[in-house]
Amino acid sequence: MAIQRTFSIIKPDATRRNLTGKINAKFEEAGLRVVAQKRIHLSKAQAGEFYKVHAERPFYDELCEFMASAPIVAQVLEGEDAIAKNREVMGATNPADADAGTIRAEFAESVGENSVHGSDAPETAAEEIAYFFSGLELVG
Ligand code: ADP
């Protein structure tokens, strides 16, 4: 498997509880390298644009409110098979279904406030990275 990059967000429930370092340790232990990172506070409109694929879902408004409720940490993670590996380290969307040792099993508060986002495919990873970072900010 080739070296890949994926996009990650440490969500407001986690930044509020000061968990950035603990979550980054999980990535690093799994062989993922943080090659870009910034802490930002999204507006509700920016959160809505990022999650527009979910616009028709019943939880969309709640999700956008939540993502704009406190700072996030936007990141690019690099490593072997990074997209799948990150999804593995994150755990299932609903923390009740997440495997032991995953970020969501350890830290998520609910299916909505679930501590991390990670891209699900190469196309979305490329799009999401470009939405948050310029090429100059990616330092491998
Ligand atoms: P994932 O983040 O695991 O890829 P999805 O793409 O299905 O999951 O959903 C995007 C985000 O929307 C989730 O991470 C979560 O924050 C929120 N979400 C998903 N399902 C629900 C739900 N049933 N109720 C509230 N929020 C939800």
Position 62 scores a pLDDT of 98
Atom of ligand 1 nearest to the CA of 113: 16
16 is in an annotated binding site: no
38 is in an annotated binding site: no
Q: Does the structure show a pLDDT above 80 at 101?
A: yes
Crossing angle for the helix pair 82-90 and 20-29, to the nearest 10 degrees: 130
| CATH, range 3-137 | 3.30.70.141
Ligand 1 pocket, residue 59 CB under 6 Å: yes
- The domain locations on the chain are 3-137
Ligand 1 pocket, residue 108 CB under 6 Å: no
- Over residues 105-135, the pLDDT tens digits come to 999 999 999 999 999 999 999 999 999 999 9
- Over residues 59-73, the pLDDT tens digits come to 999 999 999 999 999
